[in-house]
Amino acid sequence: MKRIQRRTLVATLATASLAVLLPATSFAQKPIVLGFSQVGAESEWRTANTESVKASAKDAGIDLKFSDAQQKQENQIKAIRSFIAQKVDVIAFSPVVESGWEMVLREAKAAKIPVVLTDRSVNVKDDSLYVSFLGSDFVEEGRKAGRWLVEKTKGQSGTVNIVELQGTVGSAPAIDRKKGFEEIIKADPKFKIVRSQTGDFTRAKGKEVMEAFLKAEGKNINVLYAHNDDMAIGAIQAIEEAGLKPAKDITIISVDAVKGAFEAMIAGKMNVSVECSPLLGPQLMQIVKDVKAGKPVPKRIVTQEGIFPMETAAQEFPKRKY
Ligand code: GZL
């Protein structure tokens, strides 16, 4: 028998015997099963984030078990426990608030299911309870908002009275955006935060709280700092209903840079929005694949983001992806 034929035969036999040894399923890779607990559907940002996660899971061939917690921590804890019971390969979630996660994350660890944090982080003593946190630097987002205001009011004497619409109480973005903004403005005593209250990241609550601010402070308000565009857009409605001009009588500083913010800036009703990208899906799926493959993943991955003033909104808007 010719040498080449013999070699091919040996190779074929080897493969055949291997096929006999290995169960058939090992050849058809089983899809990774990812359990994802989403905060809710409270804002344009959240909707875009959900779309990014779902589309990226599909593109990556990952079997996504998706749960919407309607902004309730107990629903997220229930969802994570359900993922553990289903023995998913990886769990990912955006924690609605920073605290109260130790127990359920210990249950996931005991079940040997890795957990990835996305968008928001948690306050835990033992950071081995999660493998990686992918999301924005919210403190820096607050600093960007503060720096923009300092620049805009440079050389202006007299007090600058600020009202602040905070995000969800206890959430990382609300805590850190406040922290970063105050870190910058505290350098100049002309800046005074005269009212600060949560609008829970929604348009409706943002409008309601801004109405209360206007009743209490009236024309005394110079600046609104909103922790997200949805609350800012609700506040703009309240400002107009009070007979004032948003972005002129009251300077409007916001965060997220969603489509609604660009539309408001193009209409001359919002001064600036600090970008906070919801398009975390592709990076999240890569982390999930790497974790499943046993590859090392960075503990912290920070998304890169910009700031968009009204002056450039019209030219930037066509390029926006969310
Ligand atoms: C930020 C995200 C925040 C957005 C809000 O990463 O958690 O939650 O800024 C959203 O619009 O509701």
- In DSSP notation, 43-86 reads SHHHHHHHHHHHHHHHHTT-EEEEEE-TT-HHHHHHHHHHHHHT
Mutate to test the pocket of ligand 1, among 45, 96, 97, 254 (most ligand atoms within 8 A of CB): 45
Give the burial class of 296: count Cβ atoms within 10 A of its Cβ; 0-12 exposed, 13-18 middle, 19 or more buried.
Answer: exposed
In the prediction, which pLDDT does 12 show? 47
Ligand 1 touching residue 228 (CB < 6 A): yes
Residue from 37, 44, 46, 140 whose mutation best tests the ligand 1 pocket (most atoms within 8 A of CB): 46
Longest dimension (CA), the chain: 99
> Would you say the CB of residue 173 lies under 6 angstroms from ligand 1?
yes
Q: Rg of the chain's alpha carbons, rounded to an integer?
A: 25
The Å distance, Cα 45 to ligand 1 centre, comes to: 6
Residue of 228, 254, 279 to test ligand 1 pocket, by largest number of atoms within 8 Å of CB: 228
- How far apart CA 289 and CA 36 sit, in angstroms, is 14
Is 271 within 8 Å of 232 (Cβ atoms)?
no
Q: Quick one: tokens of 181?
A: 């903004």
List Cβ neighbours of 319 (8 Å cut-off, separation of 6 or more): none
Q: Of ligand 1's atoms, which has the minimum distance to the CA of residue 227?
A: 9
Cα–Cα distances (Å) from 197 to 133, 169, 210, 225, 287, in that order, read 28, 9, 9, 11, 36
Q: Is residue 203 lining ligand 1, measured as CB closer than 6 Å?
A: no
Is the pLDDT at 18 greater than 50, yes or no?
Answer: no
Q: Is 276 in the pocket of ligand 1 (CB under 6 A)?
A: yes
| DSSP β-ladder status, 63-68 and 33-38 | parallel
Residue recorded with tokens 């359920």: 104
Please work out whether the CB of residue 176 comes within 6 Å of at least one atom of ligand 1. no
Say if residues 250 and 241 touch (Cβ distance below 8 Å): no
Beta carbon of 56 within 6 Å of any ligand 1 atom: no
- What are the CA-CA distances from residue 118 to residues 77, 96, 290 (Å)? 16, 11, 15
- Closest alpha carbon to 92 in 132, 44, 51: 132
Sign of CA dihedral 129, 40, 293, 17: positive
Give the atom of ligand 1 at the shortest distance from the alpha carbon of 172.
Answer: 7
pLDDT of residue 24: 44
- The CB of 42 under 6 Å from ligand 1? The reply is yes
Instruction: Name the least confident of 15-24, 57-66, 74-83, 153-162.
Output: 15-24
Range(s) within the chain of domains with CATH label 3.40.50.2300: 33-136+278-303, 138-276
Cα dist from 172 to 18, 90, 116, whole Å:
52, 23, 16
Task: Answer yes or no: is the C-beta of 278 below 6 A from any ligand 1 atom.
Answer: no
- The C-alpha atoms of residue 86 and residue 131 are separated, in whole angstroms, by 20
Instruction: Specify the length of the chain in residues.
Output: 322
Find the Cα–Cα–Cα–Cα dihedral 83, 60, 46, 38, rounded to 10°.
Answer: 0
Q: Are strands 272-275 and 307-309 parallel, antiparallel or unpaired?
A: antiparallel
Architecture category of domain 138-276 in CATH: 3-Layer(aba) Sandwich (3.40)
Atom 3 of ligand 1: nearest residue by CA position: 173
Ligand 1 binding pocket includes 136 (Cβ within 6 Å):
yes
Ligand 1 centre distance from Cα of residue 17 (Å) = 55
In CATH terms, is domain 33-136+278-303 a member of 2.60.40.10? no
User: Is residue 20 pLDDT above 90, yes or no?
Assistant: no
Q: Dump pLDDT digits (tens) for 172-204.
A: 999 999 999 999 999 999 999 999 999 999 999
pLDDT at residue 16 is higher than 60: no
pLDDT, tens digit (0-9, with 9 covering 90-100), for 275-304: 999 999 999 999 999 999 999 999 999 998
- Residue 26: pLDDT band by 50, 70, 90 thresholds? low
Residue 94 CA: nearest ligand 1 atom is: 7
The continuous run of DSSP H or E covering 173 comes out as helix 172-185
pLDDT the model gives residue 5:
53
